[in-house]
Amino acid sequence: MEKRVFTGSFTQQESLPEAAIEAAIAVMRTGRLHRYNLAEGEVGEVAHLEEEFAAFTGAKYALAVASGGYAMSCALRALGVGPGDKVLSNGFTLAPVPGAIASVGAEPVFVETTEALTIDLDDLSRRVVDSGAKVLLLSHMRGHICDMDRLMRICDAAGVAVIEDCAHTMGAAWNGVPSGRHGLIGCYSTQTYKHINSGEGGLVISDDPEVMARAVLLSGSYMLYPRHTASPPVETFEKVKWATPNVSGRMDHLRAAILRVQLADLPRQVARWNDLYTTVEDGLRNTPGLAVIKRDARESIVGSSIQFRLPGAAPTTIATVLRGCAARGVELKWFGAEEPVAFTSRYDSWRYAPPQSLPRTDAILAGLIDMRLPLTFSVADAGLIAEIIRDEVMAAMPRVAE
Ligand SMILES: *Cc1c(COP(=O)(O)O)cnc(C)c1O
């Protein structure tokens, strides 16, 4: 039988909605792109986006910034993290996460990974004590959310402040509480490959007035902070404004305008992503040699990518699966490859950090495969992709006795 081939692109996003394009054109017609360049009585697109994002997440305060990476480094600075400080983080995440820690001169302390691809809470409990770190930059890598109730108990008991990296969990929740609302600060990315798309961009949320006042000043507010509408009262700024440096990383009206339209539509997009995700997951279930990632019933996900494991498979077998799938149009990434290709997600690729050994993370990443699910795919596409992966895994696996 002829082998079926998939012809879609794994990196092609949908076009922006017409309403977003019109909103962008309206901003360009005014010539006022800088967030503090406002007409008399005007609130501006950036401040409106911040109000709407605060409402969307239920946070008191929100700040729009230049990128997700900037959001995280700004959060660390707002907590006073500086040179030589230790910051706990995931051994499995994306390079901007340890990069944010390094950008303030701090030292990452990586924590082990579970089979559910979440931070290992037993290991976290140990490392909280051993490291003496006072901050955890927690990454919900690829949208996998750990038991946040238990994580917060561990961190609260040890006086560890939690910053959540929600680059892959905008629109997701744990136990009914939006991702980003468990810790002290939530950070988001609006980069093209995340859940709302402005090319580059980020958001910071918090309920803590002083933390948010510092974040606003850090982002480069030139003492124009009274123009923020989703931020603490001006009195809070009085306390911190002389001691907080300007590390410019603002968002502009053009990006905010296109994000506002997309944010309003996010719940519908989440439902579409989850249809793709469950279709692929169902198609892969019960494939010999392949383990789907277990999701907790308390997790409310955004399935914008999917992962699966080939536990115990030899590197040559994995390479065969990847080659077989690629030949049929299905682009997979392997987190276990010796040399990072196109991205880095393993703690041992970040050699500016002190070397650490995380054997459980190594074992999991050795068999971990990753695939994007852009919304340009249909549910039928998702079904075909799962069929191709299933075929190729079964063909590559050494035969087991019947
Ligand atoms: C994309 C991403 C970020 C932020 O990235 P930017 O490109 O700086 O917006 C942070 N964490 C994770 C896990 C990411 O994938």
Delimiting residues of CATH 3.40.640.10 domain(s) in the chain: 18-260
Delimiting residues of CATH 3.90.1150.10 domain(s) in the chain: 266-401
Give me the active site residues, please.
Answer: 194
Residue 165 beta carbon below 6 angstroms from any ligand 1 atom? yes
User: How far from 334 is each of 96, 97, 318, 349, CA to CA, in Å?
Assistant: 19, 19, 8, 14
CATH of the domain spanning 18-260, picked from 3.40.50.300, 1.10.357.10, 3.40.50.2300, 3.40.640.10: 3.40.640.10
Residue 164 beta carbon below 6 angstroms from any ligand 1 atom? no
Report how far residue 283's alpha carbon sits from residue 281's, in angstroms, rounded to the nearest whole number: 5
Residue 141 beta carbon below 6 angstroms from any ligand 1 atom? yes
* Minimum-distance ligand 1 atom for the alpha carbon of 190: 9
Digits of tens for pLDDT over the chain (402 positions)?
A: 678 999 999 989 999 999 999 999 999 999 999 999 999 999 999 999 999 999 999 999 999 999 999 999 999 999 999 999 999 999 999 999 999 999 999 999 999 999 999 999 999 999 999 999 999 999 999 999 999 999 999 999 999 999 999 999 999 999 999 999 999 999 999 999 999 999 999 999 999 999 999 999 999 998 899 999 999 999 999 999 999 999 999 999 999 999 999 999 999 999 999 999 999 999 999 999 999 999 999 999 999 999 999 999 999 999 999 999 999 999 999 998 776 666 677 888 899 999 999 999 999 999 999 999 999 999 999 999 999 999 999 999 876 544
Determine the pLDDT at residue 401.
44
**Six-digit token pair at 214?**
């510092």
Candidate from 11, 191, 255, 335 with most ligand 1 atoms within 8 A of CB, to mutate: 191
- CA-proximal residue: ligand 1, atom 2 (nearest): 167
Residue 93 beta carbon below 6 angstroms from any ligand 1 atom? yes
Report how far residue 13's alpha carbon sits from residue 5's, in angstroms, rounded to the nearest whole number: 20
* Minimum-distance ligand 1 atom for the alpha carbon of 202: 9
* Minimum-distance ligand 1 atom for the alpha carbon of 69: 8
**Six-digit token pair at 205?**
């949320």
Ligand 1 center to 378 CA (angstroms): 26
How do strand 107-111 and strand 86-90 relate by DSSP bridges?
Answer: parallel
Residue 201 beta carbon below 6 angstroms from any ligand 1 atom? no
Taking alpha carbons only, the member of 367, 378, 364, 372 closest to residue 306 is 372
Residue 344 beta carbon below 6 angstroms from any ligand 1 atom? no
* Minimum-distance ligand 1 atom for the alpha carbon of 70: 8
Q: Can you list the positions of beta strands (E) in 272-372?
A: 291-292, 299-300, 305-309, 333-334, 368-372
CATH class of 266-401: alpha beta
Contacts of 138 (CB under 8 A, 6+ apart): 89, 90, 119, 146, 151, 162, 163, 164, 165, 183
- CA-proximal residue: ligand 1, atom 6 (nearest): 68
